[in-house]
């Protein structure tokens, strides 16, 4: 077991940033150089003041050329500081965007390897926020916070060196004010209470984001029943919870923030009496007077880097909470790959005493979906799964491509346990046509080509023709290059399902799972869909999840499910001759044809 302590906080953020260490070191050096240059104008002011005061009441005798030179030195320092800062930010931004790209790709690939159970237990809004906002905040830390931290540190250290070289007592006064103000700020924003508040803040944002996604998706229902955001209880409750938290957060922090701001802006208030005391002890020292004036001018300048430092500290806490949530996804164990992978030579599918339960880690629930399921779906045959809603049909289908790992038993393809087949190979073996179709916001062509990204255009069109969708595609504004959802182009349920069938035809996988593939087809197109499916299923292991029993009369075998168990199996003719669940379902199905609305 790896006992290495997991990095947290700034160490974890710097670990992420360290992926582009060379660029960031260069950015830090340039930023430190910028801080040094930015202090040059202040030193030039000090030198000019010293020369003027040393001349007493006759400043006209001052060396004008020397004054001009110090002016040019000040201008050069300012220009050099800005140029170096620009170069530092360019380096840090390049590093940040490269790290963000790699992090997003890594996170997306990792989520793709996780079991579907993780996605079921996590809201879409929360995952979207993690991949979008939380990663984007890391860009702010790498591109701005790291150079700013170096710049602030260099500025403060150099100012203290200059201050101590001029007068130790005045420097101690400035330092005492800064330390006290920082103590107030960090105790206010960096303690356990702040950490807890930040966690609540992210939870509230994720819940609100998830509810917003549901609200938008449910907009047709909201509109048709004349509802508003206030009547959409969950979304409204999340907005109210976020408002309550935000107000509580402001009330908690306001006193500490006021004290910090007032104290930090009062540096001159402490410099003035200390300077007067020093001048009383040595009233004829012009150099002390110059130093005092310099502190009066320069002392308040310490407030700016301190403000920036505290802002960066609070921002870092915010970023760290986002990194913690990114790490919580990356720490999720993907489905394990086999140490010695095997490949089947046949494609019959067998369930041997399979039991499986859905587990919700957030709600800590454990719901049994399958119990001791046994059956064989032979290659080249059609096996239909029927049963009431919630009987386990879709679960069986989802376990074949190993969307989840089973708890007991075995699922075999050609006699090989699917856990001994690599994920990529297993995905190549299985094609799905879901009842709930999903099309990407892309062209029709790309939506079909998902089935086989390396396929030629001719093969994509041939798959569309086999799926009986070529004709309606040709009538779209840009044919196969029409983007779904663009300029009001939307497909009907039947058209979208035929696109998915074309996708499966193009993939040409030896195992095919159909989840009521004709569910959205109207009577006119159902025959076309059936023709498309006939060309799709030739020679394949076909498993059909059927709700419309008429579509599976010709299946070679029918598996009847109820409450997660196989209760009957056989062909249609045999099952309708014996009393049981299938016969009852068939009688209910056929009697539904005689149902009609009566006049009131």
pLDDT in tens, 112-137: 777 766 665 555 556 666 666 677 77
Residue 1 has pLDDT above 50, yes or no: no
Residue 2 pLDDT: 45
In tens, the pLDDT along 543-594 reads 988 777 877 888 889 999 999 899 998 998 999 889 889 888 888 888 766 6
Residue 375 pLDDT: 93
Paired tokens of 318 = 């915010």
Mean pLDDT of 388-412: 87
Residue 126 pLDDT: 61
Q: Do 85 and 143 meet the contact criterion of CB atoms below 8 Å apart?
A: no
Name the burial class of residue 535, with classes exposed (0-12), middle (13-18) and buried (19+) by CB atoms within 10 angstroms of its CB.
Answer: middle
Q: Do 391 and 562 meet the contact criterion of CB atoms below 8 Å apart?
A: yes
Residue 558 pLDDT: 92
Q: Do 242 and 210 meet the contact criterion of CB atoms below 8 Å apart?
A: no
Q: 3-class SS at 260?
A: helix
Residue 193 has pLDDT above 80, yes or no: no
Of 459 and 537, the one with more pLDDT: 459
Mean pLDDT of 36-61: 74
Percent of the chain at pLDDT above 90? Answer: 9
Quick one: pLDDT band at residue 251, thresholds 50, 70, 90?
confident
In tens, the pLDDT along 259-309 reads 777 877 788 888 888 888 888 888 777 778 778 888 887 777 777 777 777
Paired tokens of 73 = 């030195």
Cα-flanking dihedrals φ and ψ of residue 298, to 5°?
-85, -30
Residue 228 exposure: Cα atoms within 13 Å on the Cβ side: 1
Residue 360 has pLDDT above 90, yes or no: no
Q: Beta strands of 507-581 (E only): which ranges?
A: 511-515, 541-545, 557-562, 565-570
Mean pLDDT of 416-444: 84
Residue 373 has pLDDT above 70, yes or no: yes
Residue 477 has pLDDT above 70, yes or no: yes
Residue 427 has pLDDT above 50, yes or no: yes
Mean pLDDT of 160-177: 85
Quick one: pLDDT band at residue 8, thresholds 50, 70, 90?
low
Paired tokens of 495 = 């058209």
CA–CA gap between residue 61 and residue 49 (Å, rounded): 14
Residue 62 pLDDT: 60
Quick one: pLDDT band at residue 248, thresholds 50, 70, 90?
confident
* Highest mean pLDDT pick, 2-16, 349-363, 389-403, 422-436: 389-403
In tens, the pLDDT along 276-286 reads 888 888 877 77
DSSP string, 317-346: HHHHHHHHHHHHHHTSPPPPPPSS----SS
Residue 213 pLDDT: 65
Residue 353 pLDDT: 93
Quick one: pLDDT band at residue 354, thresholds 50, 70, 90?
very high
Hey, what domains does the chain have and what are their CATH numbers? 9-330 (1.20.1560.10), 349-591 (3.40.50.300)
Q: Do 114 and 332 meet the contact criterion of CB atoms below 8 Å apart?
A: yes
Q: 3-class SS at 541?
A: strand
Q: Do 302 and 152 meet the contact criterion of CB atoms below 8 Å apart?
A: no
> Integer distance in angstroms from the first to the last C-alpha of the chain?
73
Count other Cβ atoms within 10 Å, centred on residue 228: 9
Residue 226 has pLDDT above 60, yes or no: no
Residue 417 pLDDT: 93
Question: Rounded mean pLDDT of the chain?
Answer: 78
Residue 416 pLDDT: 93
Residue 560 pLDDT: 92
Q: Do 505 and 432 meet the contact criterion of CB atoms below 8 Å apart?
A: no
């Amino acid at each position: 077991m790896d006992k290495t302590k997991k990095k947290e906080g700034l160490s974890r953020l710097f670990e992420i940033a360290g992926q582009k260490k060379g660029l960031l070191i260069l950015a830090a050096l340039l930023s430190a150089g910028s801080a040094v240059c930015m202090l040059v104008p202040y030193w030039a002011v000090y030198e000019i003041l010293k020369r003027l005061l040393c001349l007493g009441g006759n400043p006209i005798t001052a060396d004008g050329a020397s004054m001009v030179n110090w002016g040019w030195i000040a201008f050069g320092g300012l220009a050099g500081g800005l140029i170096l800062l620009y170069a530092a930010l360019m380096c840090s931004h390049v590093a940040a965007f490269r790290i963000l790209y790699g992090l997003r790709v890594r996170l997306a690939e990792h989520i793709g390897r996780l079991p579907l159970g993780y996605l079921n237990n996590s809201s879409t809004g929360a995952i979207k926020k993690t991949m979008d906002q939380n990663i984007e905040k890391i860009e702010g830390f790498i591109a701005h916070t790291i150079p700013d931290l170096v710049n602030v540190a260099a500025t403060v250290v150099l100012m203290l060196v200059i201050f101590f070289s001029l007068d130790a007592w005045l420097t101690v006064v400035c330092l005492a004010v800064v330390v006290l103000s920082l103590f107030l700020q960090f105790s206010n924003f960096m303690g356990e209470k702040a950490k807890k508040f930040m966690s609540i803040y992210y939870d509230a944002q994720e819940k609100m984001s998830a509810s917003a996604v549901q609200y938008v998706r449910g907009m047709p229902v909201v509109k048709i029943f004349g509802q508003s955001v206030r009547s959409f209880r969950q979304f409204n409750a999340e907005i109210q919870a976020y408002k309550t938290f935000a107000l509580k957060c402001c009330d908690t922090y306001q006193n500490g923030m006021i004290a910090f701001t007032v104290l930090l802006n009062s540096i001159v208030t402490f410099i003035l009496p200390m300077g007067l005391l020093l001048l009383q002890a040595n009233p004829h020292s012009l150099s002390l007077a110059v130093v005092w004036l310099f502190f009066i001018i320069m002392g308040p300048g310490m407030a700016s880097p301190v403000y920036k430092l505290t802002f960066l500290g609070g921002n870092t806490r915010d970023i760290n909470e986002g990194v913690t949530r990114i790490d919580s996804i990356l720490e999720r164990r993907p489905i394990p790959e086999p140490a010695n992978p095997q490949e089947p030579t046949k494609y019959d599918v067998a369930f041997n005493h399979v039991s499986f339960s859905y587990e919700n880690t957030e709600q800590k629930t454990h719901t049994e979906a399958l119990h001791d399921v046994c059956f064989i779906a032979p290659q080249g045959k059609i096996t239909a799964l029927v049963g009431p809603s919630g009987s386990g049909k879709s679960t069986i289908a989802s376990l074949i491509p190993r969307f989840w790992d089973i708890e007991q038993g075995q699922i075999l393809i050609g006699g090989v346990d699917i856990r001994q087949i690599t994920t990529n190979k297993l995905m190549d073996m299985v094609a799905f046509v879901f009842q709930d179709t999903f099309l990407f916001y892309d062209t029709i062509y790309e939506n079909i080509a998902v089935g086989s990204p390396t396929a030629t255009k001719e093969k994509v069109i041939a798959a569309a023709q086999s799926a009986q969708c070529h004709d309606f595609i040709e009538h779209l504004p840009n044919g196969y290059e029409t983007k779904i959802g663009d300029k009001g182009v939307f497909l009907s349920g039947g058209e979208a399902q035929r696109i998915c069938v074309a996708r499966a035809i193009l993939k040409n996988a030896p195992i095919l799972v159909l989840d009521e593939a004709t569910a959205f087809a109207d009577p006119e197109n159902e025959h076309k869909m059936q023709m498309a499916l006939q060309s799709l299923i030739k020679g394949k292991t076909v498993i059909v999840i059927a709700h419309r029993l008429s579509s599976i009369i010709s299946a070679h075998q029918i598996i009847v499910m109820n409450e997660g168990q196989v209760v009957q199996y056989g062909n249609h003719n045999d099952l309708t001759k014996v009393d049981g669940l299938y016969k009852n379902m068939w009688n209910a199905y056929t009697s539904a044809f005689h149902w009609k609305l009566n006049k009131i």
